[in-house]
């Protein structure tokens, strides 16, 4: 099995990270494919096979860590390509939603540029 699990939606609350600028503040790191749970169950073959599929987007996949699991929010095609090339890790930007929610619940000032998900 390539991934830890396959889901068809995001089980975690909305985190408010909507722009590439917000995600770019998170430094990339490696995550094992076997530790990822996808949030999309369908894959577009044309996008998977395209050499330019990441040309206009972030080079790194977006992952949300929530309640002990890593959820692949954006980058399914990159993850499958990595698996096809027999790589076991993926370079990702990992948003730790557990820590973010704890910071906000304890009324601690959040990180600069981090959206406040409790204001919705």
From first to last of the 120 residues of the chain, give the pLDDT tens digit. 799 999 989 999 999 898 888 999 999 999 999 999 999 888 777 766 666 555 455 689 999 999 999 999 998 888 988 998 999 999 999 999 988 888 777 754 545 555 555 544
Q: Is 92 a domain residue?
A: yes
The domain spanning residue 98 has which CATH number? 3.90.1530
Residue whose entry in the numeric block shows the structure tokens 């076991």: 88
CA distances to 40, 64, 102, 103, 107 from 118, in Å: 25, 17, 11, 11, 11
Q: Is 102 a domain residue?
A: yes
**Going by C-beta distance under 8 Å and a sequence separation of 6 or more, which residues neighbour residue 75?**
60, 61, 62, 63, 90, 92
Q: Is 33 a domain residue?
A: yes
Query: Could you give the CA distance from residue 88 to residue 112 in angstroms, rounded to a whole number?
Result: 33
Please report the pLDDT score of residue 110 as a whole number.
47
Query: Could you give the CA distance from residue 95 to residue 8 in angstroms, rounded to a whole number?
Result: 20
Task: Please name which of 69, 74, 45 lies closest in space to residue 57, comparing C-alpha atoms.
Answer: 74
Please report the pLDDT score of residue 108 as a whole number.
47
Q: Is 30 a domain residue?
A: yes
Structural domain that includes position 29: 5-10+22-42+52-110
Q: Is 115 a domain residue?
A: no
How many domains would you assign to the chain? Answer: 1
Quote the pTM value.
0.78
- Stated as kind and residue range, the H or E segment containing 48 is helix 45-49
Please report the pLDDT score of residue 90 as a whole number.
95
């Amino acid at each position: 099995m390539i991934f830890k699990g396959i889901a068809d939606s995001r089980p975690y609350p909305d985190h408010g990270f909507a722009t590439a600028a917000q995600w770019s503040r998170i430094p990339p790191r490696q995550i094992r494919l076997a530790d990822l749970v996808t949030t999309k169950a369908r894959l577009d073959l044309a996008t998977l096979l395209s050499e330019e599929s990441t040309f206009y987007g972030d080079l790194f996949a977006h992952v949300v860590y929530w309640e002990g699991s890593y959820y692949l929010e954006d980058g399914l095609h990159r993850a499958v390509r990595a698996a096809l090339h027999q790589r076991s890790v993926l370079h990702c930007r990992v948003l730790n939603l557990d820590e973010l929610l704890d910071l906000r619940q304890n009324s601690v000032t959040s990180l600069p540029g981090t959206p406040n998900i409790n204001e919705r």
